[in-house]
Amino acid sequence: MEETNKQVPVTVLTGFLGAGKTTLLNRILTEQHGKKYAVIVNEFGEQGIDNDLVVDADEEVFEMNNGCICCTVRGDLIRILSGLMKRADKLDAIIVETTGLADPAPVAQTFFVDQDVADRTKLDAIVTVADAVHLSTQLTDHHEAEEQIAFADVVLLNKIDLVDESGLEVVKERIKKINPFAKIINTTKCGVSLNEILNLDAFSLKRVLDVEPDFLTSDHDHEHDDDVTSLSFVSDTPLDMEKFQDWFSKLLQTKGQDILRTKGILDFTGESDRYVFQGVHMLMDASPMGKWPEGKERSSRLVFIGRNLETMNLKEGFENCKSA
């Protein structure tokens, strides 16, 4: 998924019905003068979308026939993105709006799995619009709401004028507990500068290096086993590459369904380059990303977002990868 200038960026807008996705979409379309967008929608006709090129899709999730049950893709996106790439006029960007109850994983995985899609488009970012008033209840009642927060690169916390300050802090803490990476932007009526949600290149490995997550203490408590949470690990001792690969590939093979997103920067013994990776369930994009910056301490950082993380002995597994 490394970039070339020929790839059209794709922004995915998720969020529950009524959170303000369509308001945001129309804001993007009206404020970006002179740009050509294609908008792929799944709840067409519900509210007017102000664009020439609106494509009506069915959210069709396909299991890949490769023996991996969590390797699902959006068949409709493959078809539509491949079609759009045959257009004579080049698009500046594509925006995919998902339905309120959609799991973002198959959308993200489509960009890893389908070569035609990966060659010509790139996943720019997942932007989740959340309703500050209702998010807490939605997170408790619907696992899809948790997944939408877990996968988000940006959470647009909308309608903040309708909650008080302490209420807002509670919601924000909840978001951070699920996803320490997501940038939370407070808005009313989705009033946000568009450069905070477009052209973020959030899925490139280069960006993994730029985003310092809010590392949390790992002594958080759980309300249900179902909860999506995150765990992060840091080590100043270099890791053994073979041990790490062995542990990590087995972990993803057996627990890939519960691990939603992973990101990491790794310091391997005997390697002068930083290794960077990011993944969605079992699918992984990884590469050496140049030398460690001079004068900066080398260290490995690893973040997991998922369910039942506490049952996976992640700390022990990670500790065992340290070079003796």
Is residue 288 near other proteins by the rule CB under 8 A? Answer: no
According to DSSP H, which parts of the chain are helical? Answer: 21-31, 75-84, 104-113, 115-120, 135-141, 143-151, 165-178, 205-210, 241-255, 314-320
Is residue 285 near other proteins by the rule CB under 8 A? Answer: no
* Neighbouring C-beta atoms of residue 31, cutoff 10 Å: 10
Q: Which is nearer to other proteins, 110 or 230 (CB)?
A: 110
> Taking CB under 8 A as the rule, which mask of x and - marks residues 105-144 in contact with other proteins?
---------xxx----------------------------
Is residue 44 near other proteins by the rule CB under 8 A? Answer: yes
Tokens linked to 21: 């996705």
What angle, rounded to 10 degrees, do the helices at 104-113 and 75-84 form?
A: 50
Q: How far apart are the first and last CA of the chain?
A: 34
Is residue 78 near other proteins by the rule CB under 8 A? Answer: yes
* Neighbouring C-beta atoms of residue 69, cutoff 10 Å: 12
Find the part of the chain contacting other proteins (CB under 8 A) among 64-72, 94-102, 252-260, 263-271.
64-72
Find the part of the chain contacting other proteins (CB under 8 A) among 51-59, 159-167, 176-184, 237-245.
51-59
Find the part of the chain contacting other proteins (CB under 8 A) among 59-67, 133-141, 184-192, 290-298.
59-67
Residue 88 is which amino acid? Answer: A
Listed in sequence order, the residues at least 6 apart from 102 whose beta carbon sits closer than 8 Å to its beta carbon are: 14, 42, 59, 144, 148
**CA–CA separation, 8 and 10 (whole Å):** 6
CB of 21 to other proteins, least distance (A): 18
Q: Which is nearer to other proteins, 89 or 225 (CB)?
A: 89
Total interface residues for other proteins by CB under 8 A: 31
Is residue 50 near other proteins by the rule CB under 8 A? Answer: no
Residues that bind other proteins (CB under 8 A): 2-5, 44, 53-56, 58, 60, 62-66, 73, 75-76, 78-80, 83-84, 86-89, 114-116
